[in-house]
Structure 1
């Protein structure tokens, strides 16, 4: 499992994922070769899943984000699978989560404005298969978004 050095590397990596390897090694108190070896091992073990670009949707003209809580008609044998395949085909659906409980699926949806969302909702989202109930929650403010974990 992870030792103190791995945790120190990960803390620094989370804090500044875009810094050069030499600076990251210095911040973590290890040599560049140790850093490279440890990061490679953590990637191989699945601890590090990858590096990604995070897009600020409003900068691209998507001003609205809506969470849809969906309850599916579970009398259909493949309701989950068919719903998820169809939802993946909607470009404005940026996240799909499944749950156990009264809500089966949550979709995160982006839209340019309210008119775009209304069209999207009527023409694409309500036509997804096996929907028994749907609740829309309009995002007002992002109070906290942190993908770091305490190490």
Structure 2
């Protein structure tokens, strides 16, 4: 089966219908996406499927055929960080960093889907991503700054 990950077409083995997470990590060696809970409750494994944050741990790889998958590795633009990554670094968001890939991918979808987001929209959009270090205020501050910088051109 062929899947499109980070704008590259790959042929993957789908015997047993593995999860998208398994294929990304084990077949494509894209290990940025993390295994957290295995139940789509923590958000550590979120990737973007056609621009929508999707838990890779419970998504059968066969369900993403013909769709665009974007992982944390796909944010690299000529060696530069994505604006969400830059904002998170400026606010010193992460401590352990385990939630970072899923948290960043969810934030990227939010930022790329709208130009202006209020605080409640940011909170609602990030719901489903758990940070065990509880850096939520810093995450919210980073996203507020980022969305303030991109509001109405």
TM-score by length of 1: 0.26
Larger Rg: 1
Question: More strand by proportion, 1 or 2?
Answer: 1
